[in-house]
Structure formats: C-alpha cells, structure tokens
Amino acid sequence: MVEESVLQRVLAAALRNGGEFAEVYVEDRRNAGARLDDGKIEEFTAGRERGAGIRVVAGSSTGYAHTSDLSERALTEAARAAGAAARGAEGRTTVLEFEARTGSPTHPVRELPESVEKLRKAEVLKRADEAARAAGGAIRQVSAAYADARKRVLIANSDGLLVEDDRVRTRFMVSCTALGDGGLQTGYEGPGRTVGFELFDEFDPEEVARTAAGRALRMLDARPAPTGRLPVVLRQGAGGVLFHEACGHGLEADLVNRDASVFRGRVGTQVASPLVTLVDDGTFDRGWGTLAVDDEGHPATHNTLIQDGFLNDYMWDLLRARKEGRESSGNGRRETYKSLPMVRMTNTYLLAGQSDPDDIIASTPYGLYCAALGGGQVNTATGDFVFGVTEAYLIENGRLTTPIRAANLIGNGPETLMAIDAVGSDFDTWAGTCGKDGQGVPVSAGQPTVRVAEMTVGGTAGA
C-alpha cells in the first residue's frame, strides 16, 4: 500500500524531533451490508476507506496524527505533527532496516465476500425471513442483516518491523418478535466468523432464523423471574459475554496500571476455582476476534490468563510491555487508522472441563439456566457487574422447566470465578463488538456449560 522507501523516510521524519519510537499504521478497509425488514430488502450498503495513523513516543509522551492521504507528502506532514506532539528534545533519525514479513492467518478464505453478487446476499436474508415466519403464527416481525468486511493493514516501525495482514469477516444476524397474551417477546441469533461467504456452509440461514424465532416463541410462556441467591447454570457460549466483561477487561494491562482493576497485584495468587482456565487467544480458529498480527504488528498469540484458578498474566500491548521489559502479548488493537492502539481482548474463553453438560443440570435441584445473556455493566475496579438475561429457564429437580423473563444476574467477577463448581465438556462462542474508550473492535467470548454455585438473581417474583 505504501513503498518501503517511503515508510523509511516517513519514520525518520517522525523521529526527527527527538522521538524514541515511531510507527506507521496503514489501513484499506472495505465493508458491505444488506438488511431485510418485514419481508423486504430495505437497503444495500457498501463503503471503502483508506488512511494511515502515525505514532511517535518520546519518554512518557505520545504524539499521534492521521491522514486519509497516503502520498509521501501527507504522510510526512502527519509524521512531523505526531513528532512535535510528542515534545522530544534532541533529534534521532535512525530507523532500522526493515525485516518484512506477512501475517499468516490460521485459515484460508475460500470465497471473498466482495466477489459475491448482491443477489446471493439478498437470498440468504429472504430464506431466513421465510423460515422464521414458518416457525409459528405468533411471529409478527422479522429483521435480518448481513455484513462483511475486509481490512488490509500494513504496519511499520522504527525497530525495523514491516508486516501486512488481510482480515476478512462475515456475519449474519436475525431478530424476531413474537406476540402473545403476555405481550411482545424477542429472540436473536447472530453468528460471525473471520471467514468469507463460506460462513453459510457452517451456519444455515434457515437454522439461524429458527433459533431466533424459537427463542421469541418460548418466551411467550415465560413467567417472572425469581429473586434471590441461586445456583446458575450458563449454557455453552451464553456466559462468554459475562466473563469477557466481568473478568476479561480487568486483565487488560492498561486498566491494571491505572489501578482500575480488581486483579491488580494478584499475579501468582488464586483468583478462581481450580476448575477455571481462562485464555485470550488471537489465533483461535475462525473466531470473530482472530488476527494474524495485532494492530501493532505483533503476532497473535494464545495467552493463558488464569491457569487452574491462579492468575498467570495480564494482556499487554507494545508500549506497556516495553516499559516492563517484556514481550507484547499481541493485544494491541485499534478501531481504525484514526485511533491509537490500546490493550484489547481478541477471543477470550474458558477451557472445557470434564463434566457432562446434562449431568450438570441433573445435579442441580433448583436454580436458573441461562441460555442467552444481553447487555450489562461492570466496574473493573471492583469487579461488580449486572447482566440482563434474554433467555432463561428454571431448573427444578434436575430438569429444565418453566421459561422465565426479566431476570438480571448481579455479582462480582472474582467471586463468580471462585464459585464455579462444575465445568462442562462442551464449548461454544459468542461474537460481538467490544467497546472501550470510544473504540469498538470485533471480539468473541466463549465457555463450556458452567455452573456457578450461587449468584444473585434479580427478578420480579419471589424466590
């Protein structure tokens, strides 16, 4: 996207005001989408954006400038601006010889979405609409959306790094609304992978739609959720967002360094049940947060954060790792070239255990089975969280019985980790967008079926 000789000169210009480290991040991003509402294709969208961000570090100061113009003149001006913002004193113009390499994705993309005709993209939306409406007469509204993105990045820095990556993601989402005597209920399903249009070889549009419709229909018979301290069983994949928010963010090194994490100073100590091993894995096969390299050019890695209940490490970006004299963990990420990188998760999940998922339910006399979670809030400094539950059932005498609605899970991240007393042998993931400091990046989270011995359930009925 930019010639090596130009990158060398731009980095030299960035360091001229006394910078200690300089980096150029170049991005060429394409995206496309389609949306169906009430049986009609409402819109097709497509866009492309290119640009570069230049970062200069001098001591504890960082300067950053970005431009949508990839000419050498514009890049040099941005480099000088970033260098001036870093407020260096003496000029340093040494840029090491580039050692070029290309990111090696963990899987090939078989069918680039940009090569797929709009008609085929519209067809999967129509198939989903028909299947959802056929699931039951109570289905009143169906919305479906298709989205794909391809992002090519180039990263070069004054340490001699030069690397490129080509990232392709495809996602399909269906939302259904059902009407019954108790009012409106909704159901949602939205798989996404770092793959091309072959996503639909794994996820049949009709099955995605039936899953969303089934959730809405089952919730028509839901009764108000109980209130109190109960055992909670999280269906495989469903609790991934809870662990992402309530535990994962607290293990990001920038929050730890700002004393905004309940896990600060806990490395080497027990923070979870011995059944818990939590990892962040940027190499996870086809995960929504999978990368060949992070947005600072470091290879994606498999990082064990908690091993058998003991805190093993935090997640690190390049600059914080350099200050500690260690390697980045491949967790430096940014939303676009206009954004500074920061410590972010990729694919964060609990490893599978030994218990049969059915046995976990059967051995629970009374409790709550959560099949899908919604949004929530977490205080990383204390670990306290609240999450909404969008699909749940009572467990009575070891069996799933009545669907319930309007439930919240209220707890504390470390306390929840310590209270896990069963981990299933199954596994699934959840795909979503993680927001932090105004930036959103694709991530996935996952876990096997897990039982928390006791959690606070907030509902509208007596326990």
CATH number of residue 146's parent domain = 3.30.2290.10
Beta strands in 190-328 (DSSP E): 192-193, 223-224, 228-234, 278-281, 302-307, 310-311
Q: Which two tokens stand for residue 365?
A: 């006399």
Contact at 8 Å (CB) between 110 and 90?
no
Query: pTM here?
Result: 0.93
Do 322 and 239 fall into the same domain? yes
The three-state secondary structure class of 186 is strand
The answer to whether residue 90 scores a pLDDT higher than 70 is no
Do 327 and 263 fall into the same domain? yes
Residue 201: φ, ψ to 5°: -75, -25
The answer to whether residue 221 scores a pLDDT higher than 70 is yes
Q: What is the pLDDT of residues 398-452, one digit of tens each?
A: 999 999 998 999 999 999 999 999 999 999 999 999 999 999 999 999 999 999 9
Instruction: Give CA separation, 442 vs 80, 135, 158, 244, 291, in Å.
Output: 31, 31, 28, 12, 10
As a whole number of angstroms, the distance between CA 312 and CA 308 comes to: 9
- 339 assigned to some structural domain: yes
Domain that holds residue 451: 223-458
Q: Which of 143-152, 175-184, 334-343 has the lowest mean pLDDT?
A: 175-184
CA angle, corner 161, sides to 160 and 162, nearest 5?
120
Do 174 and 246 fall into the same domain? no
- 428 assigned to some structural domain: yes
Q: How many CA atoms lie within 13 A of 75 on its CB side?
A: 26
Do 196 and 256 fall into the same domain? no
Average pLDDT, the chain: 93
> Which of 188, 219, 250 marks a domain boundary?
219
Q: What is the pLDDT of residues 240-290, one digit of tens each?
A: 888 998 899 999 999 999 999 999 999 999 999 999 999 999 999 899 999
Rounded mean pLDDT, 92-100: 54
Confidence band of 89 (pLDDT split at 50, 70, 90): very low
Confidence band of 101 (pLDDT split at 50, 70, 90): low
Do 105 and 188 fall into the same domain? yes
As a whole number of angstroms, the distance between CA 170 and CA 287 comes to: 11
Do 234 and 198 fall into the same domain? no
Do 108 and 160 fall into the same domain? yes
The answer to whether residue 374 scores a pLDDT higher than 90 is no
Do 257 and 402 fall into the same domain? yes
Rounded mean pLDDT, 288-301: 96
* pLDDT score at 301: 96
- 227 assigned to some structural domain: yes
Do 250 and 367 fall into the same domain? yes
Count of domains observed in the chain: 2
Q: Which of 139-153, 198-212, 332-346, 366-380 has the lowest mean pLDDT?
A: 366-380
| Sign of the torsion formed by the C-alpha atoms of 271, 244, 354 and 107 | negative
The answer to whether residue 391 scores a pLDDT higher than 50 is yes
What is the per-residue DSSP string for 81-115? HHHHHTT-SS-----PPPEEEE---SS--SS-GGG
Do 203 and 230 fall into the same domain? no
Cβ neighbour number for residue 313 with a 10 Å cutoff: 17
- 463 assigned to some structural domain: no
Contact at 8 Å (CB) between 313 and 267?
yes
Q: What is the pLDDT of residues 40-83, one digit of tens each?
A: 998 899 999 999 999 999 988 999 999 999 999 999 999 999 99
Q: Which two tokens stand for residue 307?
A: 């091993």
Q: Which amino acid appears at position 267 of this protein?
A: V
Rounded mean pLDDT, 196-216: 97
Q: Which two tokens stand for residue 395?
A: 């467990």
The answer to whether residue 463 scores a pLDDT higher than 60 is no
> Which of 219, 239, 263 marks a domain boundary?
219
Do 111 and 258 fall into the same domain? no
Do 357 and 228 fall into the same domain? yes
Rounded mean pLDDT, 283-310: 96
Spell out the residues 6+ positions from residue 134 whose beta carbon is closer than 8 angstroms to its own.
none
